[in-house]
Structure 1
C-alpha cells in the first residue's frame, strides 16, 4: 500500500535535506547506554531505570523523520515500510518467546502457567501492555508475580506506534496538501497537540491510578511525540560546540542517575518521565561534536556501537534469564556474582540471536521482490508461537481438570477434617494423594456472582449482583466489602442453593466496609462507594449483612478492627439490620502454595506458628459498646491447627495467594459456615 501526498517540489527537496537523517553513531551508543541501564537496574538494583523511555524517544525521533521525508517525496510506501519492520522485529522477539515458553514449562511452578501463557500470547500479538493494564485494575491479578515476558509491554507500545504513527503523519500530509500548506508547520502543530494532550493525561492518570498509567499506551505517546518534535526542529537548533559538549554529558549523567533518584516503577510515567526523555533529547541535540571531550566520542565508540546493535536482543533476553534464575535458585534477588552470571548468559544469547536470527532476517531478500512476502514471513514466525501456547494451554487445562472432581470426596475433606465429627483427620492428612485444587488452577480459584448485576443509582461504581432463587427467597443476605468478604461467596453460594437464600454482593477491590479508606490512604472514591453501599443496604433491608470484622492479621499481632467498621455497623443498627462480622484470616509475606510446590506439603517453613499470628482474643472483643446488631464469627480453628497455620488441611490447599483463601477450601467450609450463621441468626 503506497500513499501519494504531492509531487516533489524544490521546496520539498530543500526541506527534505534539512531533516535528512544520515547515520548518527551516537544514537547506537545511546541505545547501548539505555539497555545497559535497564539490565543493570533490573538485575542488581531491582529497580526501573527509565531506559525504556529513551527507547521510546529514539523511536519517535527516527520514525517521524523517516515517514516525514517519505511524505515530502510524495510516497509513503506503507506496505514496504511495515514489511521491513516485521523483518526487523519479529524474528528475535518470537524466537525469545518460543525459547522462554519451553524453559517455562519445565521450570515455572504450575500456579504461574496460565498467567504466563496469557502474557506470551499478548506479547506475540503486541498487546502485552494492555494485558498488564487490565491486570493492574483487577484486584486478584494485582497479586500476580512478574511474568517472564512482562518486559514485552514496551515492545507492544512500540509496535502499536509503528502501526499508527505513519497513518497519523499521512493524514496530516493529506490535510496540509488540501489546504495548500507545507507539511512541516502542520505536523509540528499536530505533534505539539499530541504531546500536550498525552502528557496531561499521563500526569492525571499517574496521580489517580499509577499502575494503569504505567502500561497505558496513551500515557506514553507524548514520549514518541517529543522525539518527533526533535526530529522536525533539530536542524534549527544550533549551539556552540562547548554547549553541545556540556549538553551531551549532562544528558548522559541525567540518564544514569534517573533510576537512582526516582522510584521509576512507582512514579512513572507522568511528569517524572520528562527526566530520561529530556536527557536523551540533550544527547541527540549535542550530536556529533568532533571533540574527544564530547559524550558522543564515547557513545560512537566501536564497543558501544556494537552493544547498540545488540540492544534489542539484550533487552529481550535479560528479563527471562533473570526470572528463570530466581525461580531455579529459589531466590527473590541476586547478588553481585549471580547478577554477573545472568548478564553473561543474556549477553551470550544476545550475540547469538543478533548474528544468527536478527541480522540475517533483516538483511535477507524476503519480501523484497514480492508485495506480501514480508507479511507471510511474519505469519510464518507467529504461528508456531501461538500453536505452542495453545498446546501449553491444553496441557494446563488438563492438569486443572484432573482433580476437579476430588473436592469433598473422602480423601479431600478440607475444612471438614477440623470438625469433631471427623476423627480420622490425621489419617487423611497422612495419605499420599494429590492436593486440590491443582497448582495450575489455583490462581483462578475464587468465587463471585457476576450475574444479574445492575448499577446503583447512588454510585456509578457500585454494582448490585444477585443470585437467582426458586420463587421468593427464604432469606436475603448482602455480602459487602472487598476481596476478603468476596472470598466467602465460595462457602455461601452452596448454602444459598440448598436453602433458597438470595445473596447480593456489593464489592469493591481494596475497599472494606468502613466509613474510612482503610487500604488506600485518603481514597475518597472508596469512602463515597461505602456511603452509597450503606444507603443501598438500608433501602434493601436484607435479613443480614455479611462483612469482615477485622483486618491485617499478620505476624506481630497487627490485627485490628478499624473504627470505620464500627461506624458502619452503627448505621445499620439504627436501621434495625443485623450484621454478621467475620474475623479476618491470616495474611503472609509469602505464598503458602508456592512453598508447597517447591518444598513439599510438610515443609515446616510453609506453615506459620499460630501463636505468632493470631492473638487469643479477637480485636473486636476489646471494643467497648459494640453495636447490638453484630454477631461475630471466628473461623480461625478451621484455617489453623492448635499450634500452626498450615498450607494444607484435609488434602486441600488453604490459600490461593498470600492472603486469600482458596475457593476450593472455602467450599469445604460451606456446611460449617451454614451452621454458624443459622445459629448466630436463630434461623
Structure 2
C-alpha cells in the first residue's frame, strides 16, 4: 500500500475511490460499535476494520468533494494522527493493567474504561513530543546510513531481550515461600487450618498457580464465549452411578475437578456443561452487562437437553455477583432467576446450587509473594469475600439443595488464600485445580445422590 500511495495512480484520486473511503470509514466506525467480546476475533470478522482502513487510506486522498478528506484533515484528527503510534503503545497497558488487577471476570465500569482512554491521549503526546520526535528528527538519525540504522535496531532488540531474560531469571530465583513446610492436608477441616506463613510445600506453587486449571479448558469441553455446543462431556466409567450434570459459567468450571474426582472414584457419572461468562440461571443478560446471544442459545440448548433426558442431579454453579452488578435489588433478582430456572428444569431431577467461592478482589498469589511470612495480610473479611444476601436467597429458595463448601476456606471472620498446604485460588475468585480436588470428600458428604 505504501508503494501504491507513493506512485499515486490516477484512479486513487477518482470519485469511486473517494466513495470507497466513505465506505471504509463506515466500516471502521461500525466495527467499533458492532463488535463485542463474543465476536470471534481474530478471524474473518477482522476483515471489516482491516479492509475499511485500507479503503480509507487509499481513497482518503481523493478529491475532497467525494472523499472524507475534509473531515480527516481537521486539527483534532491531525493531532490524533500525529500521536497515533505513541497512543497505540500507551493505551493498551493503561487498559489491561487495571483490568488484570481486579480480574477479567470483573469488567471495569464503562466510565473507568473511557477515563483511561482519555488519559492515554496526554501520555501519548508526552511520548511523542519527548521521545518519538526527538529521536526521529535528530541530525544523527537523518545522517545515519540504512545499514547503521538496521544494526542499531538489532542491537537495541538484543539489549531488550537480554534485559528481559535477566529479569525473568532474577524473578524465578526470588523466594516465594517461607522455606518451611507444613503437614500436608488430607481432609480439610472446619474451621480451616491457616498457616501464618507461605509453606514451602504449598500446592500448587505460587509460580505455577495460574496454570493449575481444570482439564476441561485444555480438552475442548469448556465452551468459550463464541461457542454454542450444548452436548456437554461425560466423565466416569461407572454406568450404574447416579448421573450428575454440572451447569454454569467459569465458576462451575473451577468446581469441575471436585466433581471429576467423584466420577473417577465411580461415585457419579458426570456431564460437564460450562461456558465462559455465561450463567446457567435464567437471568436476562441484557439486564446485566451486555447482549450475549451465544450464551442465551447455549443455556437454552442445555436446558432443553436436560428436559429430554433428566439426570439424577443438576448442579448450578455461577459467579452470581458478576451477573448482578446493575440490579437495583441483586438478591431479589437472583431469587427470581433461580425460581425461573428451577421451573424450567425437569421435576424428576434434584437441583443443587453450589455456594459461590470467596472473591479476594485481586490475585492472592501476588499478595502472598510479598508476604511470605504473614499470610494473614492477604486474608479478606468474610463480608467482603462472600455475598451474604445472595447466599441467603440460595439457602432459602424452594426446590433446590444448597451446598456450601466455603467453610473450608473461610471462618466467621475472614476468608483465607492458604489453607493447610493448599493455595485456594489461582486468581481473584477461581479455585485452583489442586484445592478443588481436595474438596471432593466434603462434596461427597453433602451431594444428594439417594
Superposition TM-score, scaled by structure 1 size:
0.48
Match of 1:283 among 45, 70, 75: 75
User: Distance in 2 between the 1:514 and 1:325 partners?
Assistant: 31
**Deviations, residues 600-654 of structure 1 (Å, cap 9, x unaligned):** 563655322225554497322333xx12xx3221112112023211222224332
2:445 matched to 1:675? yes
- Residue 532 (structure 1) aligned to one of 275, 298, 301: 301
The residue aligned with 2:423 is: 653
- For residues 362 and 673 of structure 1, what CA distance do their matches in structure 2 show? 70
Per the alignment, residue 580 of structure 1 pairs with: 352
Is 1:642 equivalent to 2:412 in the alignment?
A: yes
Aligned to 2:146: 366
1:490 match: 257
User: Greater CA radius of gyration, 1 or 2?
Assistant: 1
Match among 310, 314, 317 for residue 545 of structure 1? 314
User: What's the secondary structure of 1:547's corresponding residue?
Assistant: strand
Deviations 1:225-253 (A, max 9, x none): 3343331224x69xxxxxxxxxxxxxxxx
SS at match of 2:269: strand
Distance 1:572 1:318, change over 3 A: closer
Residues 474 and 499 in structure 1, CA contact (< 8 A), matched pair in contact too: yes
Deviation at 1:493, TM superposition (A): 1.9
- Given that 2:24 and 2:54 are in contact with CA atoms closer than 8 Å, whether structure 1 keeps it comes out as no
Tell me the equivalent position of 1:568: 341
State the partner residue of 1:58: none
The corresponding residue for 2:56 is 226
For 2:258 and 2:85, the matched residues in 1 are separated by 49
List runs of 5+ in structure 2 lacking aligned partners. Answer: 99-111
Contact 2:28 2:49 in 1 (8 A): yes
Residue deviations 1:147-187 (CA, integer Å, cap 9, x gap):
xxxxxxxxxxxxxxxxxxxxxxxxxx9xx8xxxxx984554
Secondary structure at 1:585's aligned position in 2?
Answer: coil
- SS, match of residue 441 in structure 1: helix
In structure 1, C-alpha distance between the alignment counterparts of 2:356 and 2:97, rounded to whole Å? 36
Question: Distance between the aligned counterparts of 1:535 and 1:199, measured in 2?
Answer: 38
The answer for the alignment partner of 2:392 in structure 1 is 618
Shift of 1:562: 3.2
Distance (whole Å) between structure 2 residues aligned to residue 393 and residue 504 of structure 1? 44
SS in structure 2 at match of 1:488: helix
Instruction: State whether residues 222 and 274 of structure 2, in contact with CA within 8 Å, keep that contact through their aligned partners in structure 1.
Output: no
- 1:3 matched to which residue of 2? none
Question: 1:33-432 residue pairs with structure 2 within 5 A?
Answer: 67-70=4-7, 72=9, 184-185=14-15, 187-188=17-18, 190-205=20-35, 218-219=48-49, 221-223=51-53, 225-234=55-64, 280-283=72-75, 311=83, 315=87, 350=132, 353-354=135-136, 364-366=144-146, 380=154, 384=158, 411-413=183-185, 416-419=187-190, 425=193, 429=196, 432=199
Q: CA deviation at 1:410?
A: 5.9
Relative to structure 1, the CA distance from residue 233 to residue 393 in structure 2 (aligned partners, 3 Å threshold; closer, same or farther) is: farther
Q: Indicate conservation of the 8 Å contact 2:198/2:368, yes or no.
A: no
Number of residue pairs aligned between Structure 1 and Structure 2: 415
Q: Distance in 1 between matches of 2:161 and 2:318?
A: 48
TM superposition shift of 1:585: 2.0
Whole-angstrom distance in 2 between the partners of 1:517 and 1:395: 48
Unaligned segments of structure 1, at least 5 residues: 1-62, 73-172, 177-181, 238-273, 286-295, 300-307, 327-331, 368-372
Q: Matches of 1:587 and 1:475 in 2, distance apart?
A: 31
Answer yes or no: is the 8 Å Cα contact 1:494–1:670 preserved in 2. Answer: yes
Distance in 2 separating the partners of 1:229 and 1:612: 55
Change in 2 beyond 3 A, CA 1:453/1:434: closer
Q: Distance in 2 between matches of 1:445 and 1:195?
A: 44
**1:196 shift after superposition:** 4.4
| Aligned-partner Cα distance in 1 for 2:307–2:188 | 38
Deviations 1:185-244 (A, max 9, x none): 55445545544445444443259769999x95733653553343331224x69xxxxxxx
Q: From the superposition, tell whether residues 525 and 619 of structure 1 become closer, same or farther in structure 2 (CA, over 3 Å).
A: same
The question of whether the paired residues in 2 share the 8 Å contact of 1:546 and 1:579 is answered with yes
- Whether the 8 Å contact between 1:318 and 1:346 is mirrored in structure 2 is no
Deviations 1:562-620 (A, max 9, x none): 3222222233342x112221111233443333333344563655322225554497322
2:439 maps to 1:665: no
Relative to structure 1, the CA distance from residue 316 to residue 230 in structure 2 (aligned partners, 3 Å threshold; closer, same or farther) is closer
Give the CA deviation at 1:67.
Answer: 2.3
CA-CA distance at 1:489 after TM superposition? 0.8
Secondary structure of 1:567's counterpart equals helix
Could you say if the C-alpha distance between residues 318 and 351 of structure 1 is closer, same or farther in structure 2, counting changes exceeding 3 Å? farther
User: Partner residue of 1:606?
Assistant: 378
Larger proportion of helix: 1
CA distance, structure 1, for counterparts of residue 39 and residue 146 of structure 2: 44
User: TM-score normalized by structure 2?
Assistant: 0.69
